[in-house]
């Protein structure tokens, strides 16, 4: 989940809203302070504007998948070498492996969704 920040064009109140990665949602926003409505063009109405082209970028997720996979394998190999050499290991390396696995699986899921047309 991400956040979009901005100021109300009428009263200037700083507004921070949660949004998804592609900032989908109605561009008609309501200021929580003065209750005025305004258009925030950063929000993308899927029914009108369609999906963000980056969401269908198969190349990005393919190389992301490969990158995370290589990162995970390198970290796992490094961890095994550290355990063999010192009988101990840095916990940060385990964290890197967890991040690598999450990134690999995440990219694989998005890639599969793109390839099957289920977005
Ligand atoms: Zn306002």
Q: Are 56 and 119 in contact (CB under 8 A)?
A: yes
Name the pLDDT band for 119 (thresholds 50, 70, 90): low
Name the pLDDT band for 21 (thresholds 50, 70, 90): confident
> Do 43 and 62 share a domain, yes or no?
no
> What pLDDT, in 10s, does the model give residues 43-81?
999 888 888 887 778 899 999 999 999 999 999 999 999
> What pLDDT, in 10s, does the model give residues 83-102?
999 888 889 999 999 999 99
Residue 36 has pLDDT above 70, yes or no: yes
> Do 31 and 67 share a domain, yes or no?
no
Q: Are 42 and 49 in contact (CB under 8 A)?
A: no
> Do 29 and 67 share a domain, yes or no?
no
Task: Kindly state the helix (H) or strand (E) to which residue 3 belongs, with its residue range.
Answer: strand 2-7
> Do 69 and 111 share a domain, yes or no?
yes
Domain of 108 in residue numbering reads as 57-116
> Do 69 and 94 share a domain, yes or no?
yes
Number of domains in the chain: 2
Ligand 1 ion local residues (Cβ < 5 A): 8, 10-11, 13, 31, 33-34
Percent of the chain with pLDDT over 70: 99
How many helices, marked H, and strands, marked E, lie in the chain? 3, 4
Longest dimension (CA), the chain: 65
> Do 72 and 38 share a domain, yes or no?
no
> Do 65 and 93 share a domain, yes or no?
yes
Tell how far the Cα of 31 is from the centroid of ligand 1, in angstroms: 5
Tell how far the Cα of 113 is from the centroid of ligand 1, in angstroms: 39
Percent of the chain with pLDDT over 90: 65
> Do 62 and 41 share a domain, yes or no?
no
Tell how far the Cα of 22 is from the centroid of ligand 1, in angstroms: 24
Tell how far the Cα of 16 is from the centroid of ligand 1, in angstroms: 12
> Do 17 and 39 share a domain, yes or no?
yes
Q: Are 1 and 18 in contact (CB under 8 A)?
A: yes
Query: For position 70, what pLDDT does the model report?
Result: 98
Using the 3D structure, point to which of 15, 33, 49 is the last residue of a domain: 49
pTM, 2 dp: 0.59
> Do 33 and 65 share a domain, yes or no?
no
Tell how far the Cα of 51 is from the centroid of ligand 1, in angstroms: 29
Query: For position 15, what pLDDT does the model report?
Result: 93
Report the alpha-carbon distance of residue 77 to residue 62 in Å, rounded.
23
């Amino acid at each position: 989940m991400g956040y979009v920040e901005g100021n109300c064009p009428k009263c200037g109140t700083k507004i921070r809203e949660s949004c998804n990665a592609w900032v989908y949602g109605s561009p008609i926003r309501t200021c929580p302070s003065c209750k005025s409505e305004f258009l925030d063009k950063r929000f993308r109405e899927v029914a009108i504007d369609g999906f963000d082209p980056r969401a269908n970028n198969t190349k990005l997720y393919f190389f992301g998948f490969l990158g995370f996979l290589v990162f995970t394998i390198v970290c796992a190999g490094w961890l095994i070498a550290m355990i063999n050499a010192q009988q101990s290991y840095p916990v940060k390396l385990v964290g890197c492996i967890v991040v690598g696995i999450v990134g690999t699986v995440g990219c694989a899921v998005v890639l599969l969704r793109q390839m099957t047309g289920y977005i």
